[in-house]
A and B are shown apart, each in its own frame.
Chain A
Amino acid sequence: DTGVSQDPRHKITKRGQNVTFRCDPISEHNRLYWYRQTLGQGPEFLTYFQNEAQLEKSRLLSDRFSAERPKGSFSTLEIQRTEQGDSAMYLCASSLVRNSQINYGYTFGSGTRLTVV
């Protein structure tokens, strides 16, 4: 297993365009998380999935943001009508939860850096 993969590594887009990012978690991990990290800040939680179910969404996840994990494997994060304030690093992480046991380990990907011009 090569860990958590994110694609693309970098994305430059014009304001108003739609963008989509992909995350491939560690194969046996059932939970997948999206975070946003702006320059000089720590990551901010956006949302997470257990298998294909989206269980929690942050208030940061505006209506222009949508995330899916259709088959409980990879996930996509789409931003519609991008704004300059969306420029950030988007991080994906995954973890394994068994029998409702609270997990405490997350494996992060290297992120997708979005620049909106």
Chain B
Amino acid sequence: AQTVTQSQPEMSVQEAETVTLSCTYDTSESDYYLFWYKQPPSRQMILVIRQEAYKQQNATENRFSVNFQKAAKSFSLKISDSQLGDAAMYFCAYRSAGGGADGLTFGKGTHLIIQP
């Protein structure tokens, strides 16, 4: 079974600064997907960014980028120019690319605080 570990229960960053959230995972599979989701206090999970394991290029979405290290099984999220609206719980998630299985395995989350 796959596991996802987020070792930072809480992170704090000054507005406009850059912050990196860590995620490691354990799997024996070679093909899979990785995601970062944001869950604001309103509770709805929002997809921030995704990465296909077969792609070497790191995914980017505006101010959000990842550092995907497949050999190290590491998938960190970098948020540049942090904004107050970025404050939320951030979850790292894994999805197998195998047929049939379609559930996401989530980490425990990192609570991101933005200091004005």
Interface, chain A (partner B; CB < 8 A) = 31, 33, 35, 40-45, 48, 55-56, 58, 89, 91, 93, 100, 102-111
Contact = CB atoms under 8 A, between A and B. Distances in A.
Interface string B83-105: 00000000101010101111111
B102 A56 contact: yes
Given A40-B108, A42-B91, A42-B109, A105 B102 contact: no
A33 B43 contact: no
A104 B52 contact: yes
Given A89-B43, A91-B45, A104-B33, A58 B52 contact: no
Chain B interface size band reads 20 to 34
B11 interface: no
Contact of B103 (A58, A89, A107): A58
Interface of B: 4, 33, 35, 37, 42-47, 50, 52, 91, 93, 95, 97, 99-109
B44 A45 contact: no
Contact of A42 (B42, B46, B107): B107
B106 A106 contact: no
Contacts of A45: 103-105
Contacts of B44: 108-111
Nearest to A105: B47
